[in-house]
Structure 1
Amino acid sequence: MQYRKLGNSDLDISVITFGAWAAGGWMWGGTERSEAVQAIRESYHAGVTSIDTAPVYGQGLSEEIVGEAIRDLPRDKVQILTKYGMHWDLAKGDFAMKSQTNDGQAIDIYKYASADSIVKECEDSLKRLGTDYIDLYQIHWHDKTTPIQESMEAVSLLIQQGKVRYAGVCNYNAELLMEAGKYINLVSDQVPYSMLRKDIEAETVPYCIGNNISILAYSPLQRGLLTGKMTSGYSFAKDDNRASLHYFSDENIKRVNAFLAKIRPVAEDKKATLGQLVLKWTVEQPGITIALAGARDARQALENASSVDIQLNRDEISFINNQLSDLKLVNK
């Protein structure tokens, strides 16, 4: 495994970080707790020491699973990345969406990051995680109803109290990063990035590079689409929201698979899967510090972890990029 430092911190994060969104089941069609716990533990032993989660993932379940998984691991060898500012239990702030719990109960999700709320959320997360500090605390989404200054100053207080080590943000563009940076030392920005979603390259990546802010790329496999394991007519679970996203239309699945067929020889030459090749390509892109990769079970987790062992030269990366430039998705 390789490790990279976040911003100007002393926090070394595994280049492949375990993304625990799917572990919580929410919007992924449910979860199997014991398999998720085992996946995290196997990842750790393969060198994946960093785990990213959030309270809203399974409405607390993902954090509880992470807490169970790390219970017998040396705490100083594990980096816990979690978030704040997304509520299913408080109808206040910036309405985000209607959703449902893993058992089908209807819930409304709000973006809310007031100072009082952040303090409470931190305490709740610490209890679920079974720890007394969080390595990286990130605002999940921008809350339009709360001044950024208020949110960042609340996290600064948590850092002073030793409950949080470093501050990060998620889904922030360059403008929001600039504003937040006035009030706190930001070490990272977690944003969606994949071969199929590269819009951050225009402004966010240059800003982060210029201001020593690490980028944590989430959904680098485009939620499974870039593994090559989906075919047209793929059947999603009832509460799996991928079915409503344009990436997963039959036509786009067909087009993506045609692209993957072109780069498959590179993966085969490396004795790697397409998913491993895609993860390695992701962490070789300018400004991308780490890639978040989720896993349903230990086999997937170990496969993700070993992707860092692949060696890609400039010609191979150029070949992949050239094939990618020909891929056009239908945006509907």
Structure 2
Amino acid sequence: MAMATSKATQSSRVARQWVDDQVSLEPIRNETVAVLGYGIQGNAQANNLRDSGINVIVGLRKGKSYEQAVKDGHDVRSVSDAVKAADIIMVLIPDMEQARVYKEEIEPYLKDGKALCFAHGAAIHWRWIVPPNGVDVFMVAPKAPGQRLRELYLENFGTPALVAVEQDATGRAWDRCLAVAKGIGCTRAGVIETTFKEEVETDWFGEQVNLCGGAHSLILAAFETLIEAGYRPEVAYFECLHELKLIVDLIQRYGITGMYARVSETARYGGLTRGPYVIDASVKARMKEVLKDIQEGRFAEEWVSIYKKEGKNAFEKYMRALEEHEIEKVGKRIRSMIWRE
């Protein structure tokens, strides 16, 4: 069996990085920050900023999130009223809703000197939103779900983040950007410079080819291979899905070589020799096709078009197919043995 090999090239560009003692909250100490949205990320960022001593208001429509924000002690207003009162507007609503909300409830109340802060680069990079010239535009993108961002903040630590400035209208955009990153706790771990373009293209690529799409497709293919060979589904589930978290945890903490140093010699040899055979040059070639679709805007156009027609139902047929797959049925039984809630 011929084994595939690969060679990665190292980028010569070194990104700027900042840690907590290099950053000050003073640039936003006397400013009002409006957090628009109170989902998992909005909830965490609003609470972290408030606990850092920043003046926070939350912009929401009436509903469960509104009630929760009030219960959490926030000054909660309509989106437009929050924008009117704020110096910095943090847009933490879903990507596909941002353009409409911006047009209807943000843009009419923007004035020179205000700032727009995003947690993801899509709306600005793909020009779903085009801010006026007099407004700062920057991004603070925590590299963890909101729940983890909040947990680590309460433990006096933080999650890393990517930061970028797209438009520096005031000459203070970087100071404001880094102050927001400090306020939500990210500089405790460290923040790294990027661009809106780089963040969105790499984020979507990772989601599609390995973190979500690639991982789930690899799991299903491995599970199906064992089932089709006559192995019990419960055993296949453990080997192809359940134990994946154990390996990912090792990789996250110790790196890939550190993971291999902590598994059995058989797993080490088998993984090192067979892994590149399964995920070979043909897979990498298709990854490049996916990346090109993202870079050239085709995926963005497709997603916007589908969302306009179908809204949140755009992925329901795919979800239903997954729910009906045997791995999900056996998984429910296995998970009920492990997770007692």
Give the TM-score normalised by the residue count of structure 1: 0.30
Bigger helix share:
2
Bigger strand share:
1
Q: Which has the higher contact order (CA 8 A, sep 6+)?
A: 1
